[in-house]
């Protein structure tokens, strides 16, 4: 159980009241529950697979509707939507969206390309056709390209790229430019844009699908990762199906993106334990590995679990296997909680995820760094904020599937749910 002070910090994230309902918006499609002290209201319905979300500096919501483009939504003083329109019609856009730090440039991504438009926050319009910022990304398997700009370095754009398959062995080489996060200087974009494989610098690799990215109060980058499916442990020819409860999804510290980070985070060889299993026993000293430690699928004389401990960067915290974290936002400026959407499982019985959680953070006195309150060995490092009443019965047709997050200037947290086509607004009032 969390100490009282941690729960208090979670509940008093922000205190702006939200209305019990918004005009002309139908009730939520599926039931949900909330952490004590929290309120939530549905603000939109009928969107087409809403994914990434940003709030412009006039409070409008800009939302990527996968396979359609970018919609724009004007809100009133209560945060309810008063009007909506299509801002960009482009069927290739599927997830990533971000605004430049000055609010004058809009970025969005397709599986292969990052585009940018001049954006006028006064009237909410884009001016002219988009420019290509980054191209040449692979379009197989994991095709969401998350975008983020460090608050203190507005000339840098961070772009994540997932693996090309469940176990993409070739991505163990960073030069494949898959299962990686890269950084580009957008103040001097070459004609035709950067080539993702060839240009920019690394912010870490061996990251299977780092969909959610967030900067803490020190402008250090954190990422949440979707780990592998259908895993089997093979020890000397003995196969054990471990997929239901392993591996953990991950919260990774990527650090300072202004300098190259060529560290390897383990994928596609080292995975993280969520549920200790009798089959995951160290082949060097025969002890069962614990939560947060990394293991290999088929240990041998040259590469085993112990090797992972020496050459791979482990996560700072794990999430339950197959919960599928898709976005992450700190409650700036205090950064006492990292909010993470857990989209929900397809590869587990019973299902898990389908909720919004908060990871309590603290600031280290000695160096001022931000770290999760819970140790990497914890399975209780986050708390449910918005969640289904019966998680184990969830599916894409019975529960909300949270995806994108963003705070507005009043501290209200907006959240998309893609398969239900809904937008929610949340507030913690204590």
DSSP designation for 259: S
- Angle of CA points 202, 206, 209, to nearest 5°: 95
CA angle, 347 then 350 then 354, to 5°? 75
Identify the helix (H) or strand (E) that includes residue 8.
helix 4-11
Determine if the peptide bond prior to 247 is cis (ω within 30°): yes
CA–CA distance, 175 with 197 (Å, rounded to integer): 7
Residues near 190 by beta carbon (within 8 Å), at least 6 away in sequence: none
| Cα–Cα dist 184/201, whole Å | 7
C-alpha to C-alpha distance for 220 and 375, rounded to whole angstroms: 19
Q: Per this entry, what is the length of the chain?
A: 430
58: left (phi over 0), alpha (psi -120 to 50) or beta: alpha
pLDDT for the residue numbered 253: 99
Instruction: Identify the pLDDT of residue 9.
Output: 43
Query: pTM score, two decimals?
Result: 0.96
How far is it, in rounded angstroms, from Cα 180 to Cα 161?
Answer: 5
Q: Would you state the pLDDT for residue 287? A: 83
Token pair listed for 21:
């309902």
How far, rounded to the nearest angstrom, does the alpha carbon of residue 23 sit from its chain's CA centroid? 31
Q: Quick one: pLDDT at residue 369?
A: 98
Report DSSP state, residue 372: E
Asked if residues 249 and 224 have their Cβ atoms less than 8 Å apart, the reply is yes
Exposure string (b/e) for 56-91, b if CB count within 10 Å is 16 or more? beebbbbbbbbebbbbbbebeebbbbeebeebbebe
Which residue in this structure is represented by tokens 């910090």? 9
Q: Over its length of 430 residues, how does the chain's per-residue pLDDT go in tens digits?
A: 344 334 444 444 455 789 999 999 999 999 999 999 999 999 999 999 999 999 999 999 999 999 999 999 999 999 999 999 999 999 999 999 999 999 999 999 999 999 999 999 999 999 899 999 999 999 889 999 999 999 999 999 999 999 999 999 999 999 999 999 999 999 999 999 999 999 999 999 999 999 999 999 999 999 999 999 999 999 999 999 999 999 999 999 999 999 999 999 999 999 999 999 999 987 767 788 999 999 999 999 999 999 999 999 999 999 999 999 999 999 999 999 999 999 999 989 999 999 999 999 999 999 999 999 999 999 999 999 999 999 999 999 999 999 999 999 999 999 999 999 999 999 996 4
CA distance 355 to 342: 5
- If phi > 0 it is left, if psi is from -120 to 50 it is alpha, else beta; for residue 214 that is beta
Would you say 140 and 170 are in contact if contact means Cβ atoms under 8 Å apart? no
């Amino acid at each position: 159980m969390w100490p009282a002070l941690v729960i208090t910090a979670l509940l008093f994230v922000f205190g702006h009241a939200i209305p019990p309902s918004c005009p002309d918006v139908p009730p939520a499609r599926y039931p949900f529950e909330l952490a004590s002290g929290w309120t939530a209201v549905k603000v939109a319905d009928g969107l087409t697979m809403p994914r990434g979300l940003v709030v412009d500096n006039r409070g409008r919501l800009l939302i990527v509707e996968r396979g359609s483009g970018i919609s724009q939504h004007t809100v009133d003083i209560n945060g309810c939507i008063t009007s909506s329109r299509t801002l960009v019609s482009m069927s290739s856009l599927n997830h990533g969206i971000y605004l430049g730090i000055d609010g004058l440039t809009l970025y969005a991504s397709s599986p292969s390309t990052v585009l940018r438009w001049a954006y006028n926050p006064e009237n909410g319009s884009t001016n002219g056709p988009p420019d290509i910022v980054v191209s040449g990304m692979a379009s197989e398997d994991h095709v969401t390209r998350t975008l983020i700009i460090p608050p203190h370095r507005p000339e840098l754009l961070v772009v994540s790229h997932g693996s090309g398959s469940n176990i993409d062995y070739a991505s163990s080489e960073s030069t494949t430019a898959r299962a990686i996060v890269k950084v580009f200087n957008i103040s001097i974009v070459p004609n035709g844009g950067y080539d993702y494989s060839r240009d920019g610098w690394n912010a870490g690799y061996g990251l299977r699908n780092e969909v959610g990215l967030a900067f803490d109060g020190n402008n250090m980058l954190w990422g949440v990762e979707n780990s592998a499916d259908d895993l089997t442990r093979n020890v000397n020819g003995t196969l054990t199906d471990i997929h239901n409860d392993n591996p953990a999804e991950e919260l990774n510290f990527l650090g300072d993106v202004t300098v190259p980070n060529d560290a390897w985070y383990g994928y596609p060889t080292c995975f993280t334990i969520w549920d200790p299993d009798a089959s995951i026993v160290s082949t060097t000293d025969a002890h069962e590995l614990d939560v947060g430690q990394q293991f290999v699928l088929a240990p041998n004389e040259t590469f085993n679990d112990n090797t992972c401990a020496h050459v791979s960067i482990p996560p700072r915290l794990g999430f339950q296997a197959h919960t599928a974290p898709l976005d992450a936002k700190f409650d700036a400026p205090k950064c006492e909680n990292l909010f993470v959407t857990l989209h929900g499982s397809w590869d587990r019985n019973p299902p898990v995820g389908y909720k919004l959680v908060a990871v309590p953070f603290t600031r280290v006195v000695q160096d001022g760094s931000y770290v999760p309150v819970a140790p990497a060995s914890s399975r209780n490092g986050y708390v449910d904020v918005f969640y289904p009443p019966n998680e184990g019965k969830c599916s894409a047709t019975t529960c909300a599937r949270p995806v994108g997050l963003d705070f507005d200037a009043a501290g209200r947290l907006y959240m998309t749910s893609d398969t239900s086509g809904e937008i929610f607004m949340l507030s913690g009032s204590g």
